[in-house]
Every structure is written in C-alpha cells, then in structure tokens.
Structure 1
C-alpha cells in the first residue's frame, strides 16, 4: 500500500462529509470581496462597513455552501459556530479599542525616564516634566487599606451566610443580610465617599466635644479613601465569596464531621482550602472594581502633588484623581520655550500637550497595575488550589 493511499481517509457508507477548515476562509474572502464591490457601487465604502457587511454575507455564503456539501445538520452547526465567534469578536472590539487608544496615547510618556518615580512638585503650566510616582504609591496604599478592611468583613459574612445561616433565626438574619448586601451593590460611588466623609467629620466632632468644636469639615486623609472604597468592595467580596463557598461539595464537610472535626476547623481547613482559588479571584475582582474609582477619592483623599506615605495624615494623590486633574487642565499655554521649576530651579521645555500626555500615561499605568494584580491572583490560585490527579 502506498503512502498516499494510507493517508486517505475511508468514508463509510452513510457517513456525512465534513469540509476542511480552510473552506471557511474561502467563503470569508468571497464575502469580503462581494461586500467591498457592493459598497463601492453604493458609494459608501469604508473598512468597518466592509467588515460588517462581509460578516453578514459570510454567514449566508458559508451556510449555503455547507448545506450543499455537508448537509443541513452540519451547515446549521457551522452557522451557529460563526454566530458565536462573531459575538466574541464583537465583545472584544471595545476592549481592543480601549487598549489601543491608551497605549498609543500614553506609551511615549509612560516610558519617559523618571515618569514612574517623580512627583508633581513645582510642575506648572506646560512644563514637560513631572511624574506619577506619588499617585502610584497613593493608589496602592489606599487600595491596600480598603482590602484590609473589606476582605475579612466580606469573607466572614460569606462564611456566615453559607455555613451558619441555614435554619431558624439565623436563616432569617441571613436573608436580611443578603438583602442589604444586594442593596449595597447598587450604591453610587460618590455616596460611599460622602459616607466616609461624614463618618470622619462626626468622629472628629466626638473627639473635640470637650473643646466645644463642631468637628473638622476640612479633614482629608488617605484612610478616608480606604473606608469609602471598602464600602464598594464589601458587597462584591460577599457575593463572589458566597458563590465560591457554595461550590464546595457537601460531602467534604460531612466527611470532616464524621471524623469528629469541629465545624470551625472544617470551615478553615476544608471549605476555605478547597475554595481558595475562587476566593482569590473574587478578591481580585473586588480590587479591580474600586481601584479606578474617582468620585469617592475626590471627596476624601483629594489631590496632593507630592509623596505622602501616611494613610492617617493629610491628603494623598491616586492615579484616578491624577488622571482627572490632568485631563481637566487640557492644553497648556506656552508663553516661552522653557519653564523653570520654582522649587528646584531646573528648566524644562514647554509642551502644550504635557497635561494630556501625563493623563494618558497615568491611565496606562493604572491598566498595567490591574493586569499585574490579576496575574498575581492567578498565580496564587494555581499554587494554593487543591491539586488533582490530572
């Protein structure tokens, strides 16, 4: 038997023939050509229009061609597969467009030496200087503070709802907590900022009762931003962690109880250990939910053009508020070719787009921080998740 004969598939009687994958490429090319010709004839030619019309024609061409060559069943299978692929590509368009816009506008400033470490002390007008080091530090510290507050509260609440609120009065309490968590999920971010601001103003009023003061309405601290963000994080942590804990098989709990293991130890050593991958993902989602919030931080932490490493003393700059403040400045006015920093005495070139460039560079840095956090969460999930035999 020759090699060619050995590689030829044998088609059994009654077996439906499947077309190779490259037939879809041929039908796609034909659809794009027809779409381009039609749009040129109509005087409405554009690349997006060609892609959209070509996709619609591709559905029709591929289905008709597959119906003739493969039969109705496989033709419908190809049609539905192309619909799913089209929906996937459609969902990717906003993400890819966003990434392309941020990278194309912010990459040049992002790779500028000193941009990731410098602050904005003395940077005025169109001075082509300054950086986001202080904003990066502020973002990490405030988000860390919010995580420290939110994760224990959210995780313990989820454990109560799943493991303890099963019968009797605890079940009624659990339903009430679930309702309140659902309500908190829809709270606007600016309301969380107002809550944190009012809470700290009231706290200063309580501490200053002896002195007869009415509180300090001008108080602004990084920890206030952490509290505001924690209000937004807690519902996400609770709902996500609750779903992850419910996925743990009841048989694991019953096996631990049969061995005489106490309930609290079963939760710690069995339930949490099994769900650690999902819990890590839920915490990461909660962090990603709040790390880009601007409104509550404008009310609580405000802005500061220099480093501040103390959450409990003074204002702090974060990347979202930095982006907001720089973009609001818009194009700068250059009255001279160089601008002098009043603090350092150094001279820098004047650029009318310096403010917008810094805003786009900070946006790119914020996206990268979120991506790094997701990668860390994946690694934690991989190393601490229970190992299977696969």
Structure 2
C-alpha cells in the first residue's frame, strides 16, 4: 500500500470520526433540552393550564388566553406568508431566474433572513402600531409574517430548482401553458420541500417573542379582538420565567414544553401527509 493511499484512508477515518462525534454532540444537546423541558414543565402541565387564563400568583391561573392568542397570531402570519412566499419563490425559480428583479428579491430575502427579529418588531410597530395608536393582534400577525416570508421564498425557490428540467420540457411538448406546468408538475414534484419550508417558517415564528413585544404587547385578560392587545404564549413564558414566584415559573416551563410538543406534532403530521402523497 502506497503512502498516499494510507494518508487518504487515515484522513477519511479522522473526518468520519469527527462527523460522528459532531452528530453525537448535537443529539446530546437536543436530548438535554427535551429532558429539561419534560422534567421542569411536566409537573405543571395539567388541565388548568389549558383551560384557565393568566392570573396573578397564588390564583392557579393558566395559559389558555395566551395559547389562543398565539394560535390566532401564528395563523395570521402563516396566512399572509404562505401565498406571498410560494408565489415569490415560484417567480424566482420559474419566470425570472436571472433578471435584475430576481437578484434584488433574493438579496432582500437574504437580508431579512439574517435580520434580528426585534428589528422586524420595530418596523411593524412604526408601520401599524404607531399609526393606529394601539397595539393589536393583527400587528403581531403581520410581524410574524415578515419573519416567515423570506424562509418560504428561499426554500420554495431551492426546491423548484431541484425539479428536473425535462419534466418542464415534457409538459411544454404536450402543449401545456406555463401556469399549468408550474401548478401541476413542478409544484407537485417539489411539494415535500415546499412543505418543509412552511414548517421551518412555522417553527421559527411559533416561539418568537421580541416582535410581539412591540406589536401585540400581551394581555392578561381573554381577548380575541384583532384590534386590541393580545396575549401570546412566548410573551407569557418570557414574563413568567422572570417572575420571582415559583408557581409562575413552573407555568412558564409548562408553556415552553407545550410549544415544543406542538411543533413536534406538526412535523410528524406533515411528514405523514407528505409520505402519503408520495
């Protein structure tokens, strides 16, 4: 065996060992986070937490209004972000790959991906809260949408670009117009990846706190009005986790566990749906 072959095999073993070690560290950290959430949050995870609204310490309050507020604001954010993100990603991948507008859109999308979420909150605060003179659940949903849109745009574009060109050519050869090729061929072929991008966006905005502090603010009372301050689970966790009262801290851990389980459940359901469609 030559010296070069021995050297290549040695390097290969070292790289494989480092890769396996890195994967083990990542799994250990993830398992540690899940263990901490379960150990600290499970004792306070009961029926009162999901049926009672937030209340001062000692009154056995829950997170019902925060849970409903989060669902409403996340739903608003995704309802705005999904069509904009998918259509923009489709335009970049199918209609204007090398145009100046496409390059500018990609640049802005990349900037938004790296922008701190607190800046998004300040932007929406200036745009909606300052002009309407009130915090609102709708403003919170818009802030979450601004965060989700670039994620969906980039993943949609990347997944559509992975669709083989002969599939488009075969559709065009059969006389199908461009919009039918996109909706019936490329979208269907890229559906698992597009759904993954939507899930990534959902997971990102589900736990965002900073944008909501400047937009929906939070509310200790039950409120589903989109024009008024609205409670949310991340803000409730943020407020309770910093509380000096142990019962509120326990509720904060239970809320963190609830968010984690919710995102995990959504991922499992989505994977099952995508698997059936495949």
Structure 1 length normalisation: TM-score?
Answer: 0.66
Structure 2 residue 256 is the aligned partner of structure 1 residue 363: yes
Using the TM superposition, give the Cα deviation of residue 240 of structure 1 relative to its aligned residue in structure 2, in angstroms.
Answer: 0.9
TM-fit CA distance, 1:317 = 1.0
Q: CA-to-partner distance for each residue in 1:318-360, whole Å, 9 max, x for gaps?
A: 11100011122223xxxxxxxxxxxxxxxxxxxxx10111111
Question: Which of 120, 130, 136 does residue 61 from structure 2 map onto?
Answer: 130
**Structure 1 residue 124: deviation in Å?**
2.1
Q: Residue 242 of structure 2: SS of its match in structure 1?
A: helix
SS of match in other structure, 2:197: helix
Name which of structure 1's ranges 265-274 and 84-93 shifts more when overlaid on structure 2: 84-93
Counterpart secondary structure, 2:52 = coil
Deviation of 1:303 (Å): 1.5
| Mapped pair 1:106 → 2:6 | no
Unaligned ranges ≥5, structure 2: 1-5
Pairing partner for 1:117 from 46, 51, 67? 51
Structure possessing the higher relative contact order (Cα contacts under 8 Å, 6 or more residues apart): 2
- CA 1:296–1:261: 2 relative to 1, 3 Å: same
Q: Secondary structure at the match of 1:115?
A: helix
The residue number in structure 2 matching 1:154 is 85
Q: In the TM superposition, what are the counterparts of 1:164-243 in structure 2 within 5 Å?
A: 164-166=95-97, 171-201=99-129, 203-204=131-132, 216=133, 219-243=134-158
SS at match of 2:48: coil
Corresponding residue of 1:375: 268
Which of the pair is proportionally richer in helix? Answer: 2
Write the deviation string for residues 212-252 of structure 1: whole angstroms up to 9, x where unpaired: xxxx2xx0111100111111111111111111110111010
Contact 1:276–1:384 at 8 Å: present in 2 too?
no
How far, CA to CA, are the matches of 2:112 and 2:137 in structure 1? 22
Equivalent pair of 1:278/1:381 in contact (CA under 8 Å): no
Q: What is the rounded CA distance, in whole Å, between the counterparts of 1:232 and 1:307 in structure 2?
A: 26
Deviations 1:113-152 (A, max 9, x none): 32122112xx323x15111111111111111100010111
Q: In structure 1, what is the equivalent of residue 186 of structure 2?
A: 271
Equivalent residues of 2:129, 2:135 under 8 A apart: no
TM-score calculated relative to the size of structure 2: 0.92
The gaps in structure 1 that reach 5 residues or longer are 1-70, 205-215, 332-352, 386-390
Distance 1:106 1:202 in 2: 37
- Whether the 8 Å CA contact 2:129–2:215 is kept in 1: the answer is no
- Kindly indicate whether residue 65 of structure 2 is the aligned counterpart of residue 94 of structure 1: no
- CA-based RMSD of the aligned residues comes to 2.0
Which deviations, in whole Å up to 9, do the C-alpha atoms of 1:181-228 show, x marking residues without a partner? 111112111111111111114653xxxxxxxxxxx2xx0111100111
Map of 1:85 onto structure 2: 20
Deviations 1:69-115 (Å, cap 9, x if unpaired)? xx9998887665443322211112221111111111110001x2321
Structure with max Cα Rg: 1
